Structure 1
């Protein structure tokens, strides 16, 4: 190969131009939204507040890890809503709680404060962390996953 031969471009020039154009478009669109004063999409929590959607059913719960790997879901007013044994097909509950616990650890909060599970008049189901204020809209995860949490609203589980 001679010294005057050029090595091929790693990324083709049209691809770089397209990527740069996309970035510029995103910045311009964001700027136009700000200048026009268009508010970003509201969260489901804010939309419910604005529409005055009332809760139909609420339950305040604590999720407690046992030494054997089970998770006890206890009602704050007394009793146990459920016990999830290790290996049970309730990975969604464990996943949601793992994410909320991670956020609590980041804020230096322990597992003492409860969570509020709420069924709203519009059919939505949410789980709110009383310590961080974070609300998870459970309906967004599909009917099967929603049903797992919805069952906790009335559940009278085994003794812990």
Structure 2
């Protein structure tokens, strides 16, 4: 019985060590904010956009030169607002420029990403479904919409 326990101790300790190293590696990437690179797929369309909240709850989307792209009315575009809120939280945490542009990119394979050059973070929006990715993809072709 004792020999049986002793023979299981080595593999058990090895598995625990492997599990610990795996968890430590995942935690260190999160703690040190090591972003993985965006996909290496050819780009179909890309645009830098600035998002600003307006007092009435609307979100004003503009090009970095100030050209109006779109106004997202209050109470709409919840996914866009949520995705931007998460990236803005990262900017505040890292003391990055809050008003810096974000990059929206659509790739030839249909993937749409939202990249934050201020922090190096990016989100593959396709992971949230075609409708949500489409909310950002529409901004790639939007032209000076009126309110």
Normalising by structure 1, we get a TM-score of: 0.67
Superposed CA deviations along residues 25-60 of structure 1, whole A, max 9, x for unmatched, are 973554798xxxxxxxxx8736x33xxx22111000
Q: Which residue of 2 is the match for residue 85 of structure 1? A: 73
Matches within 5 A, 1:4-153: 27-30=16-19, 45=37, 48-49=39-40, 53-88=41-76, 90-153=77-140
Residues 28, 145 of structure 1: alpha-carbon distance in 2 compared, 3 angstrom cutoff: same
- Give the whole-Å Cα distance in 1 for the aligned partners of 2:56 and 2:124: 30
Runs of 4+ in 1 over 4 A off after TM superposition: none
The alignment yields a C-alpha RMSD, in angstroms, of 2.7
- Give the whole-Å Cα distance in 2 for the aligned partners of 1:106 and 1:31: 28
Gaps of 5+ in 2: 1-12, 23-34
Gaps of 5+ in 1: 1-23, 34-42
Provide the aligned length of Structure 1 versus Structure 2. Answer: 124
Larger-Rg structure: 1
